[in-house]
Structure formats: structure tokens, C-alpha cells
Amino acid sequence: MKRILSIMTVMLLSMSLAAPSLMAGNDNRRGTAGATELLINPWARSSSWGGINTSCARGIDAFFTNISGLSFVEKTEFVYSHAMLNGGRSGLVSGASVNAFGLALRLGDAGVLGAYVMTMGFGDLYVTTEASPEPGSNGTMSPTLMNLNLAYSYSFTNSIHGGAVIKIITESTDNVNATGVAIDAGIQYQTGENDEIKFGISLKNIGPALSFGGTGMAFTTLNSAGNTMTLEFRSGEMELPTLLNIGASYDFLFEKWNQRLTVAGNFTSNAFLRDNFGLGFEYSLLDRFQARAAYVYQTDIFDSDNRVTANTGLSAGASFIVPMSSDGSRSLSLDYSYRSAVNLKGTHTFGATFKF
């Protein structure tokens, strides 16, 4: 496994150097990717960072930004998170939400095994047809999106950490579905007298294109001879929303009250969206309270006519850590984040992290 991760690290660094030519999308490709739920951060902690903590992600939250941060799980970590997308309203009958469950276990001195499940629901949506377009006349359907993730992260040295994720992607309604596979990989490097300087690179959503199938892609009709025929539409293939993150951060450490101020910056090269630039911070007090805020900028984000994202770039949140043992080996963290949006309500995410 260590040899595999070493090879993966070299490949990841090589691809990051070629990022301008490999990753940069063009206007004709933007918005054409499938499985865009892979771009939704389900975790409260890292979403309050705006997802820019590529260099300093720690624990299960690192699943979304940089899986190498999973290496910092000390023993066992369990996380649950619930997000209300854009105020929790999407369908005509009920709302849109994301639920995520994650578990990570340390294996030996250097390795960590982790898994998590993310489900995304839109409530009940009315089924309409050309013949009966009235809402409610054909019942409802409940689309669901689910991602299964299995990861392994390894600490090569005290300074270098790497990891990889295998994702199983499922999208379905009552009679149409699609299934795909994707891989994430990432590395982190930390240096300095107190490991206060950190760098990170992560490559996300690498995999084959996916397409839809099922009985909903077919219909029955009569030909000119009066014979019944069943015709099936072919779904076009959708590429995955590949992206590359490159980030750096610095910890300002203060002995009084065990304070820490981490400032982080990040660049995201999207293959099917506009590139993002992010800057944010995290303040920690006595390892019991943490506050975060970040801003993620992309071209024309302030232009209402040319903006291509509902998110306006601002995110913020906080965590309250409650110790559950005298030595600090067990704790419960209550997490919250908010992401702003234009013409829609913001996204609220609530989470709980249990370390034991």
C-alpha cells in the first residue's frame, strides 16, 4: 500500500504541473458535466471554510477537500452532517437536503481507513406528462442521489501525507438510473518548527463518463401498420466534474489560552466550471471553540447578468468541542456552517463529530 501511495503521489504532482492544459475548461464545456452532486460539500466544518482548506483539512472533513488529511485521525472518528440546500426548499411538495455519515479508523501507526455515505433527496416531485400536465394528476416521484466512498490515507513521514478515495455514484428515480465510479487523490506537506506551514494538492472526480438507463427511457407506440412498437432513447454520456485544488496555509500560534489563527488560500481549476480563488481563516481558542470564515471568488461573481453560480462566495461557521474524557482522547464537536446565495436562501449545515 505504501508503494502504491508513493506512485500515486508522483502522478498527482505531475498532473498538477500540467493543470493549465489538462484541467482548464472552455465556455462550450461549462455546465455539461454530470454527477454535479460531487461538487456539494456535505460537511459542516470544511463547508464553513468554503472548501478551501486543501492544505489543512483534518479528519473525516478531509474527504471532500483533500483526502490526505484523513491521516490525522488519532483513533476513531464518527461524523454526521445534515445540510438544507438553499433554505431546504426545492420540490413542489417538500424540500432538498443532504445527509452524510462518515467513519474513520486508525490502522497501525501510519494508516487510516475511512468510509462515508452521502445521500441527497429532493422530496416528492409531481409527475407530469404531455397528455396530463396538471400537477398531482399522475402522482409523485422521489429522485435520490447517493455516493458511497471508501478511502485510505497514509503518513509517509511526519511531514508528508497522502490518500485516495474510490467513489460509487448512484442517481435514480422510479424508472431511470445511472451508476458511475470516480477516484480522488491528494497529498499534504507540512513544515516549520511547529508544523505551521502547510501545502496541499488534491485531484477530484477522475473516472469514466456515466449515462442513464431504465424503463423510463422507453415508450410504446403504434407504427403505420398498426403494430405495437417499443422504442428506447439512448442517453448521452456525461463526463464527471473533474477539478484540481492547490492550497497553502499558515498557523499563527499564541501560548495564551492556547490560541491559533490559521490563514489559508486555495486555487481550484475546474474542467467544467469557472476557476475559483479562495481565502479564509480559522480561529481556535483552548481547543474548545473554533470560528471560520472564507470567501471564494470566480469571474463575474459580482455581475448579476454574467454570474454563473448561485453561491455568492461567502461562507462562515463555528464549532464547539466538548471533552468527554480527562485526557482529551474522547470529545464531541457540534458544528455549523452557512453558505450565502443570490436569489435563493443560503445553505445551512449542521454536524456532529465524535472522536473516541
Rg of the Cα atoms in the chain:
22
Considering only CA atoms, which of 147, 98, 90 is closest in space to residue 124?
A: 90
Dihedrals φ, ψ of 234, to 5°? -100, 125
Q: Write out the three cell numbers for 304.
A: 448579476
CA distances from 147 to 34, 69, 180, 193, 244 (A): 14, 20, 10, 39, 20
**One-character DSSP codes across 188-238:** EEEESTTS-EEEEEEEEEE---B--BSGGGEEEEE-TTS-EEEEEPPPPPB
Q: What is the pLDDT of residues 130-160, one digit of tens each?
A: 777 777 777 787 888 999 999 999 999 999 9
| Rounded average pLDDT over 250-254 | 96
Considering only CA atoms, which of 303, 257, 298, 304 is closest in space to residue 279?
A: 298
CATH class of the domain comprising 2-355:
mainly beta
Beta strand spans in 85-206 (E): 97-107, 111-121, 125-126, 140-141, 144-155, 160-172, 177-191, 197-206
**Prediction pTM value:** 0.85
| Rounded average pLDDT over 49-62 | 93
C-alpha angle 158/164/170, rounded to 5°? Answer: 150
For residue 182, the model assigns a pLDDT of 96
| Residues whose CB falls within 8 Å of the CB of residue 243, separated by 6 or more in sequence, listed in order | 23, 39, 203, 204, 205, 268, 269, 270, 271, 273
CA distances from 256 to 128, 250, 259, 262, 322 (A): 63, 19, 6, 16, 20
Q: Write out the three cell numbers for 300.
A: 463575474
SS (HEC) of 272-287 = CCCCEEEEEEEEEECC
d(CA 12, CA 199): 14
DSSP state of 85: G
CA distances from 67 to 97, 119, 261, 263, 323 (A): 24, 19, 23, 20, 26
Considering only CA atoms, which of 115, 176, 179, 119 is closest in space to residue 147?
A: 119
d(CA 62, CA 185): 11
> pLDDT class for 89, splitting at 50, 70, 90?
low
Q: Is residue 22 scored above 50 in pLDDT?
A: no
More confident residue, 313 or 294: 294
Q: Which residue has the cell 492544505?
A: 55
Q: What is the pLDDT of residues 160-182, one digit of tens each?
A: 999 999 999 999 888 888 999 99
Lowest model confidence (mean pLDDT) among 32-36, 221-225, 287-291:
221-225
- Per the DSSP assignment, residues forming a β-bridge with 265 are 248, 279
For residue 92, the model assigns a pLDDT of 39
Q: Is residue 225 scored above 60 in pLDDT?
A: yes
